[in-house]
Structure 1
Amino acid sequence: MMNYIKISAACSLLSLAAGCADFLEEDLKSSLAPDNTYTSTLGFEVGSAGLYAIARSEYNTWGESGAFMHNGACAYEVLQISTDICRMGTVRDGSLVPFAELTLNPSTLFVGSYWNWAYNLIASANELLIYSEKNKNWDYPTDKQLYQAEARFFRAYAYRTLVYLYGDVPWVETIQTPFLLSFTRTPKAEVLGHIIDDLEFAKTYLPEDPDAVKEGKLTTWAARHLLSEMYLFRGADGDYRLAEENALDVIGSGHYSLVKARYGKHLDEAGDYFSDMFLENNQNRSAGNTESIWVMQFQYNTVGGGTNSDDWTRRAWNPQYFNIDGFALADSLGGRGLAQIRPLKWWIGVKGTNATTAGEVEGYPEIKEEGIFEEGDIRNSEYSIKRNWYYNNPLTPNKLKQKCPITDDTWDQAQLFPALKKFFFGKEENLQLTGSYKDRTKFRLAETYLLLAEAYLRQNMPDKAADAVNEVRRRARVSDVDAADMDMDFLLDERIRELYGEESRRFTLVRTGTLIDRVKTYNPEARDRIKDFHVLWPIPQAIRDANRDVEFPQNPGYDE
């Protein structure tokens, strides 16, 4: 998936309907157009690559290569802020403040960005599907269904974001000509049904052998992993059993196993097998990663690879250590971070600091040195969470190599706190890099086990849920949990331990119906601000204004 050409017609139907002049201006990148591209298998490969490119722009920020998440901070951050895992940093980026302070409204930047990104991906997928029915020039008889399966996966993936964030949204499966100005909101349950239908198709026709496809390409196992999540989200009769079956299909496929031994391109460096999964060049199967199910490709200095704006999650989580006298920018310290979000102390703990350990806010849970980790948990090792910081600037020799303590002040000022090394990235030749060019694992087997545990909990099988969670915990070198302790709160804590920063935490809490309670319990910044209606975002005002032929209802709580 290294070389891609973005199809020019990848444009949101609903955004187009808004009639925004600059959005409608054509920017012809080449002579490619659907009519002269979708005429052979090669043309559909070009279109497929465009879908992967739009999907990965989910993590973009300033809009290089025409991304849709642009002109603000990393949009990913707003799916973490005002949850139970982090709070906003001291850099009060205007695009993040409404989500941290829960003052978002229908005109808030990222409220529109996620809508536009999703419908751009949907429009491109629909276009490929339409032309696939017209084309008769295939290299192999299976090509048509293969590209349809990829398109339907990406359509489902985009709608997944829409139903999590907005609830009822228009289901669109064709290109509207002329532009439709009378869209209606399709009920969420119906949209979830369409998502599941798309993923069932993708499951059937995507390749089975992950070693027989190019790195980054989808397989049936990615579709089954996402199907498990979507069946859990819908929660209709029989859905939890279907979620269980799809997760078990992935686990029992014989293609994947939890990483339990060191591997990859950094074996000569200190580390452990859990942290190996997050080092540069260690995400793909070719490097020896047996756990990754779907990996977005962002390689550094590679044609078709990432740009400096493609993935800013490194800058989101990494502290501004370089603003402390005695520190200099270093790739070994994660590069140049902004700490636009900071981990909450209740789960990450304050080990190795002299920060306050309890009673920070009245009623706030006790904060332990290890946070929610047991002693010896490999996911809490120094190779995964950096807690010990040493001055590294030779221009301050009186401090060089001495330990710099993490304090309440350094944490509150976003200069030094326990940092998630999953997102460390730096290049010695360019320490000012803002983005991360490291491939990004979207689905991995540990999460499949945790989805299986969720399915068992929903079926009132805490013993089997404990068994699934224990597979992940044993890999982490911690004690087993038994059925008596296995409930949704424990599972949500386990997802933090295993997937901190990887998952879209808002999605997890919305799916499990725990967003309000968990925020009120664990987030001192948002606990007194969050209301029941914040489970959903508002519908972008530009969309409602454009849909002038039919009333387009706003979500409760956001009426102007």
Structure 2
Amino acid sequence: MKNNPNNRILAIFSTVCLMAVFLTSCEEEFLDAEPQSFFTPSNALDTPDGLNSILSQAMRNLRAEYYGDGAPMITENVFSEVSVEGTTDKSGPAQDLNLLILPDANLNSANTNRIGWFWQEFYKAIKYANTVIGRLDDAEFESEAQKNDILGRALFHRAYRYYRLTQQFGDIPLILEEVTSPRLDFVSTSRETILEKIQEDLNRAVPMVSETANNGDVNRAAVQHLLTKVNLALGDFDEAIASASAVIDGGGYALMTERFGVDAGDPTKDVTWDLHQVENKSIPGNTEAILNVIDRLGYEDNGDFGGGTSIMRQAVPLWWRFINTPDGQNGMSDNPGIEIDQVLQYGRGIGRNRGTAYSTEQIWDNANNDERFKDGNWVEMEDMLYNAPSLKDAGNPYYGENLELYLPDGTPLCSDTIRNWYDFPHYKLYVDDPLAVKPSGGHGDWYVYRLAETYLLRAEAYFWKDNLAAAAADINAVRLRAKADPITAAEVNIDYILDERARELYYEENRKTELTRIAFIFAKTGKTAYNGQSYSLDNFSQKNFWYDRIMEVTDFYNIGLKTIHGDEYTMSPYHVLWPVPASAINANTQGHINQNEGYPGAESNVPPLTTIPDVD
């Protein structure tokens, strides 16, 4: 076997076991995580094809955040102000955060949360990137450009995960090389040090990565878009403006302002609708898409996150039960094929990703002609109809009438307004599901980076620089495309930027990541926020903008609200950072991984590394 490429397979396989020990435990389930799909003799790691196959696994890993039942994306949403966990008939979902979010809790389940998924899967993707980076010199390439493109994309994938992890967990282990033998000596590196490293890597990657790429792969604009986020996180606002401008002003990208795609001939629709239909997201005419993940009917399922988007199941309310007519009759049915068939129109939602009043009502005050909130694109519960066939059979006058929430005396007609009654963006959440009798949300591509966000990132950088006129111009580029009223420079602050992000990027952006990034900027700069508060890194886990923002604009965690099961929504400032899974800390017997303040184990913390040891 000395010269057999299988030797490399065995070396990598030991790394899989190592990472399993580090991230969770070396369980059979992890060992079965498709190692043969890329580390095989036919995909030897000394060829460009073999290296690209590993990067394909990194893209597949990235894709999994957005798909399936209890998708990890939901955890990003519910740890922000745009959504809460809406499952109200049992204990366990992430609602009573003070009680449930602990290092040794179940942190990776559709029935609880996906905090542990991010830790485990993002480090798995870092392993993929490090393997490619470490083996480049063993491979032969057709050209230096081909080699550089592979290296640049590997640097992107590593930086993408470290950017996210540093906003989710703060100080974490920094691994920059392929690990080929068991290690139990990992140590935490400071968040700032990691961000500086990935900023350096992304600047290096920009000229390496091709300007164009196949759908579902990394291109130069995606690198620059991520670099903009990292520049912001470090407080390098001039650099953030430059990297965002490189995308906005070059590379052929433009906001979509004209009708296009599958429904272009339907006069009842608009460009906002077109932009978010899954069939349109990756077509050549869509000049706004920067980085998409690809999912099509017939694609191989991705473990727990296969089976399509499931987005209508996750984010649409459970409208088909527990809503009565004003005369006390059951008003709703999810049966397909009935006269008023609303399950095919809206999907059979369960309200897991429950939009808050902030994201479904407050930010739409004075929406006027905003296409994102107009009838047909946006659904208010009162737009839906009493459709139970039993009502028609009984001659009930409410059959086919619009829903009502209260009787004139204030008596509610819905028994669970958390899960069953909230408005939602139909244009974003509708995904045809032809294989399901009662649709959950079928297969389709999803945006990771889109030019509208690039504009809003540059607007934010201008805000931090106090160039409010330029910030307003970038915000208005996004608003005017949606036919929304423009704003003035005097209206620009972080409150407005976050509102616009929520209007434009709901269930696209990684909201907890971005809100925490902004909280860190306030703490680093000491700049007074619009709420009159100033913050510091010295007591970040006790007082931070992330927590104050959520308490300010949502009415779940701050009023003692309880579910019908009796669980109370609670949250504390230290939840700005997630707990490092106890399994990772406990297995690391020869090193020291810090726990975040507020969680058990933090009392044993040691200062994190602030320099990066040389990599052999």
Shorter-chain TM range is 0.7 to 0.9
1:87 aligns with 2:65: no
Contact 2:133 2:151 in 1 (8 A): yes
How many matched pairs? 517
Aligned partner of 1:218 in structure 2 is: 218
Which string of whole-angstrom CA distances, capped at 9 and with x for unpartnered residues, describes residues 113-161 of structure 1? 210011000001111222222112x233322111111111111111122
Q: 1:373 touches 1:380 (CA, 8 Å); kept in 2?
A: no
Deviation at residue 300 of structure 1 after TM alignment: 1.9
Among 488, 493, 504, the residue aligned to 1:498: 504
**C-alpha distance in 1, partners of 2:17/2:546?**
29
Deviation string for 1:497-542 (max 9, x for gaps)? 2112221221121111131111111122223643332211111100
Question: How far apart are residue 220 of structure 1 and its match?
Answer: 0.5
Number of the residue aligned with 2:318: 320
Among candidates 417, 424, 446, match of residue 422 of structure 2: 417
Rounded Cα–Cα distance in structure 1 between residues aligned with 2:311 and 2:467: 36
CA distance in 2, matches of 1:206, 1:12: 31
Measure, in 2, the Cα distance between the counterparts of 1:24 and 1:405: 49
CA distance in 2, matches of 1:215, 1:76: 21
Provide the alpha-carbon RMSD of the alignment: 2.7
The change in CA–CA distance for 1:389 and 1:84 in structure 2 (over 3 A counts) is same
Segments of 5+ residues of structure 1 without an aligned counterpart are: 1-6, 63-72, 350-366
The residue that corresponds to 1:355 in the other structure is none
Q: Distance in 1 between matches of 2:350 and 2:91?
A: 14
3-state SS of paired residue (2:125): helix
Answer yes or no: is 1:165 the counterpart of 2:160: no
Structure 2 vs 1, CA of residues 183 and 413 (structure 1 numbering), >3 Å: closer, same or farther?
closer
Match of 1:115 in 2: 119
- 1:51/1:121 contact within 8 Å kept: yes
**Aligned residue among 44, 50, 57 for 1:50:** 57
Contact 2:225 2:243 in 1 (8 A): yes
Match of 1:151 among 150, 154, 159: 154
The reply to whether residue 124 of structure 1 matches residue 128 of structure 2 is yes
Alpha-carbon contact 2:97-2:571 (below 8 Å) kept: no
Choose from 21, 26, 40 the match for 1:16: 21
1:433-472 to structure 2, matched below 5 A, reads: 433-434=439-440, 436-472=442-478
Could you say which residue in structure 2 is the equivalent of 1:383? 376
Contact 2:233-2:517 at 8 Å conserved across structures:
yes
Residue in structure 2 matching 1:527, options 550, 554, 558: 558
Matched with 1:279 is 277
Specify the code of the residue in structure 2 equivalent to 1:427: D
Return 5+ residue gaps in structure 2 as ranges: 1-11, 108-113, 324-330, 337-341, 407-411, 520-544, 560-569, 602-616
Which residue does the alignment assign to 1:245? 242
Give the Cα separation in 2 of the matches to 1:512 and 1:186. Answer: 21
Greater mean alpha carbon deviation, residues 327-336 or residues 79-88: 327-336
In 2, the alpha carbon distance for the partners of 1:305 and 1:19 equals 21
In the aligned structure 2, how far is the partner of 1:447 from the partner of 1:472? 9
One-letter amino acid of the counterpart of residue 160, structure 2: Y
Deviation at 1:39? 2.8
1:550 counterpart = 2:550: no
Shift of 1:543: 0.6
Distance 2:547 2:252 in 1: 38
Change (3 A) 1:394 1:155: same
Indicate yes or no: 2:137 matched with 1:133. Answer: yes
| Alpha carbons of structure 1 residues 55 and 31: separation in structure 2 relative to 1, 3 Å | closer
- Structure with max Cα Rg: 2
**Per-residue deviation, residues 423-481 of structure 1 (Å, max 9, x unmatched):** 22232442345454121011111111100010001111111111111111211222222
Q: Does the CA-based 8 Å contact 1:294-1:444 persist in structure 2?
A: yes
TM-score when scaled to structure 2?
0.78
Provide closer, same or farther for how the CA distance between residues 469 and 343 of structure 1 changes in structure 2, counting only shifts above 3 A.
Answer: same
CA shift for structure 1 position 487: 1.0
TM-superposed CA distance for 1:79, in Å, is: 1.3
Instruction: After TM superposition, list the pairs within 5 Å mapping 1:362-381 onto structure 2.
Output: 371-381=364-374
Which residue is equivalent to 2:403? 404
Cα gap change, 1:58/1:416 in structure 2, threshold over 3 Å: closer, same or farther? same
2:190, 2:88 → 1: CA distance? 38
Q: Which amino acid aligns with 1:121?
A: A
More deviation, 445-454/44-53: 44-53
Q: Give the SS at the match of 1:337.
A: coil
Q: Is the alpha carbon distance of 1:240 and 1:29 closer, same or farther for their aligned partners in structure 2, counting shifts above 3 Å?
A: closer
Change (3 A) 1:505 1:24: closer
1:391 deviates by 4.3
SS at match of 1:295: strand
Encode CA deviations 1:238-287: one digit per residue, 9 max, x unaligned. Answer: x100000011111101511111111101124331101211113010132x
1:170 Cα offset (Å):
0.8
1:25-50 Cα distance to aligned partner (Å, 9 max, x none): 45676485267522322222322221
Give CA deviations for 1:389-408 in whole Å, capped at 9, x if unaligned: 13456665356643233566
Identity of aligned residues (%): 25
Partners in 2 of 1:414 and 1:443 — Cα distance?
30
Q: What pairs up with 1:329-348 in 2 under 5 angstroms? A: 329=336, 330=342, 332-348=344-360
Q: Does the 8 Å CA contact 2:347/2:439 hold for their aligned counterparts?
A: yes
> In the alignment, which residue of structure 2 is the partner of 1:360?
none
Shift of 1:341: 2.5
Contact kept, 8 Å, 1:87 with 1:344, in 2: the verdict is yes
Alignment of 1:270-309 (within 5 A): 270-286=268-284, 288-302=285-299, 308-309=306-307
Is the counterpart of residue 509 in structure 1 residue 502 in structure 2?
A: no
